[in-house]
Amino acid sequence: MNCCTQIDPYGKQIHDVFIDVPTKYYIDSLVYDIKDSKQGIIHDPVYYILNLCRVLYFLRCKKITSKLEGGNWGLVYLPQKYSQLLISAIDSYQNRCRIAEWN
């Protein structure tokens, strides 16, 4: 698995400094990160919506991404009925709008 999704501003290339994380350990980390999503989404919907997209993106495509990349992927590949929810989460994440209440 290649974990390099960022640009190295200076110094050695990231893949020269860090070893690849075995897929099993990365999946364990993702599972741990989303285990409380059923309750957590109530208190921090933007984080959980985008993080769940990021996790699904990895599970389907084996690509490590940011929450924003996961949300943008979800806009393309998840059912259209979730589009407005994803757009709202992405906009809020990028501080384009503030959503006071998600219910």
pLDDT computed for residue 51 by the predictor: 97
Among candidate residues 24, 5, 25, 23, the one with its CA nearest the CA of residue 15: 5
pLDDT digits (tens, 9 = 90+) for 64-83: 999 999 999 999 999 999 99
Give me the phi and psi of 65, to 5 degrees please.
-135, 170
Residue 7 has pLDDT above 80, yes or no: no
Please report which confidence band the pLDDT of residue 2 belongs to, taking 50, 70 and 90 as the band edges. very low
Please report which confidence band the pLDDT of residue 4 belongs to, taking 50, 70 and 90 as the band edges. very low
Residues belonging to the chain? 103
